[in-house]
Structure 1
Amino acid sequence: MKVVAISDTHMRQKDIILPDGDILIHAGDLSLTGTKEEIVNFLMWFSEQPHEYKIFIAGNHDFMFETRPGEMKSYIPDNVIYLENSGINIDGINIWGSPIQPTFYDWAFNVDRGAKIKRYWDLIPDNTDILITHGPPFGKLDGNHNKERVGCEELALAVARIRPKYHIFGHIHQGYGQLSDGVTNFINASLLNEKYIYTNEPIVFNF
C-alpha cells in the first residue's frame, strides 16, 4: 500500500500537488481559523482526491470538531474517514488517530500534560501499525522556532511501548521531515513553514 502523508495545510490545499497513492492521510490543522466554511471547503477538496482511502484527524486550529462535533461529522463525505481517538483496519493495516495535544494557549483539543493526557494515549491499541496524532512525541521532530522540544512526553512513552511502524503528525511546522529509531518511522508532514508559506512536499512511503 502506498501512503501519502500531509498535515497543517491551513486552507492551502488547492496549492498542493499530491502524489498518487492508495491511502491519503492528513494529520490535522486543515483549517486556519476553524470555521464551518473552512472545514467544509477542505472536506469537499479532500473527498475529490483519487486515493482509495482518505483519512484525517482534526488539529488545534479545527475548533468546530471540538465545539460542534455532531454537526461537523454530518458534513464528512461518505468516502472520507475521520478518526478521533478511534481506529480503522484497512487491508490488514491497523490505523489509529487522535487530535489530542498538550495544552497550547487556548486552542482546540488541549489536554494538560501528565496523567490527564496519558489517558488518551492509553487508548491506543497495542497492535497499531500507523499512528496519527496532531502533535509530535517528545524528542522527535518537535523543535519549535526557539529550538525548544515541545512534543508530548507521555506520547513518546506510549509510542515506545506500542512500537507502531509509522507515526505521522504535524503541528510543529519547523519539525517537517522524517527519522527512524530503528523500529518506528516518525513523519512530521507539515506542509507549511512557520510563516504559513507552502514550502514542504507530501511524504510518501510504502507499507
Structure 2
Amino acid sequence: MKQSCKGIPYFQDDGSVEVDELWRNKWSKERVHTKLPLPKERPVSKNYVRFVCISDTHDKLGKILHKIPDGDVLLHAGDFTSYGDEEEIIKFDEQLGTLPHEYKIVIAGNHELGFDWTEDESLRGRADRGRGTKDGYELLNNCIYLQDFTVEVFGIKVWGSPWHPLPGFPFSVPRGEPLAKKWDQIPADTDVLLTHTPPLGHSDLFKCRQHWGCADLLETIEKRVKPAYHVFGHIHENHGWTTNGTTTFINASICNYSNEILNGPTFFDIPLPPGYKK
C-alpha cells in the first residue's frame, strides 16, 4: 500500500533544499545505497537477539499492540505521542507494560513536547503552544528512555538520540556544526543506533519530493561509528530498509503523513555475543 503525495501541502525546513541537492547531485553517485526487502516472519532463535522496531505511533500504539511480534528488545524511535500531553505519555507507558519484550528502549521525537529542557517554546507553531509535559520522560516506567546515552542489552550496545533539524519543535538543532556536535557524542563501539531523524539518502524522502535526512549523521555513521543497524523514523512516507553494505538502515515509521496507521512493526536479529545468555 502506497501513500499518494497528491494534494499534500509542501513546505521545507531550513537547509533541506541544500541537502537534497547534495544527495541528488553528488552523494547518491558516490555512496552505496541499496533498498532491501522487509524481513519475512520467522521464529525467535535462542542464539540470536530479536530487536522489534517501531516509530511514529502518535498516540496509536494501542491499535497495533496485537501486531507487535515477540522478541527480546523493543525499539521505539520517537513520536510516540502527538503533543507530549500527560495522558498520552501515561497511556503509552501502560501499553508498553503489556508487551512481553524483556527490554523496551524508547527515545523522544519532535512531538514529545516538554521533553527537551533546552527548547525555546516561543518558536513553536500555534497549535503546539502550551502543550506537552515538562520532563515527561519521568512518567515512563516500563521502558528504558535514552537521550544521548548508551544501554547494553545482551552484550549489544544501543545508543539513542532525539535530535533533528526541523525548526519549531523540541530537540531541533540547526544543520551543520550544531547538529554535527550532537552526533559526535555517539560512541564508536555502538552496535545499534536509534535516532529520530534519518540520515541523508536513506528512507528520508519527505512528501515524495525532497531528501530531508541529516548529512552529518550519515557522515558519522559511514566514517566513524559504522553500526550494524540504524533505526529511525520521522519521515512517515518512507517506511523500509536500505543498506550501504556495512550498516542496515531501518525507517520504522508506523503512521502515514496524516498520522493514520499504515505500516506494521519490523524486526532484525543479531547473534548473541559469546558469554551472554537470554
How would you bin the TM-score normalised by the shorter chain? over 0.9
Q: Work out which of the two has the higher radius of gyration on C-alpha atoms and give 1 or 2.
A: 2
Specify which structure has the higher proportion of strand.
1
Q: Aligned partners of 2:83, 2:215: CA distance in 1, in Å?
A: 27
Q: Aligned partners of 1:132, 1:7: CA distance in 2, in Å?
A: 10
Q: Partner residue of 2:83? A: 33
Q: Count residues with an aligned counterpart.
A: 205
Aligned pair 1:196/2:264, yes or no? Answer: no
**Structure 1 residue runs without a partner (length 5+):** none
Q: Partner residue of 1:91? A: 154
TM-score by length of 1: 0.95
**Identity value in percent:** 41
Residues 113 and 73 of structure 1: CA distance in aligned 2, closer, same or farther (over 3 Å): same
Q: How big is the alpha-carbon RMSD for the aligned residues of Structure 1 and Structure 2?
A: 1.4
| Deviation for aligned residue 1:108 | 1.2
Q: How does 1:115-134 map to 2 (within 5 A)?
A: 115-134=177-196
Aligned pair 1:12/2:76, yes or no? Answer: no
| Deviation for aligned residue 1:72 | 2.2
Residues 123 and 4 of structure 1: CA distance in aligned 2, closer, same or farther (over 3 Å): same
Q: How does 1:27-66 map to 2 (within 5 A)?
A: 27-66=77-116
| Deviation for aligned residue 1:70 | 7.2
Q: Stretches of 4+ moved more than 3 A in 1? A: 67-71
Q: Partner residue of 1:75? A: 139
Q: Partner residue of 2:233? A: 170
Query: Is the contact between residue 47 and residue 54 of structure 1 (CA under 8 Å) also seen in structure 2?
Result: no
| Deviation for aligned residue 1:69 | 8.2
Q: 2:167 aligns with which of 90, 105, 112?
A: 105
TM-score by length of 2: 0.71
Q: Aligned partners of 1:26, 1:69: CA distance in 2, in Å?
A: 19
Q: Aligned partners of 2:164, 2:56: CA distance in 1, in Å?
A: 14
**Structure 2 residue runs without a partner (length 5+):** 1-48, 118-131, 271-278
Query: Is the contact between residue 255 and residue 263 of structure 2 (CA under 8 Å) also seen in structure 1?
Result: yes
SS at match of 1:151: coil
| Deviation for aligned residue 1:36 | 1.7
| Deviation for aligned residue 1:136 | 0.1
Q: Aligned partners of 1:71, 1:121: CA distance in 2, in Å?
A: 23
Query: Is the contact between residue 84 and residue 133 of structure 2 (CA under 8 Å) also seen in structure 1?
Result: no
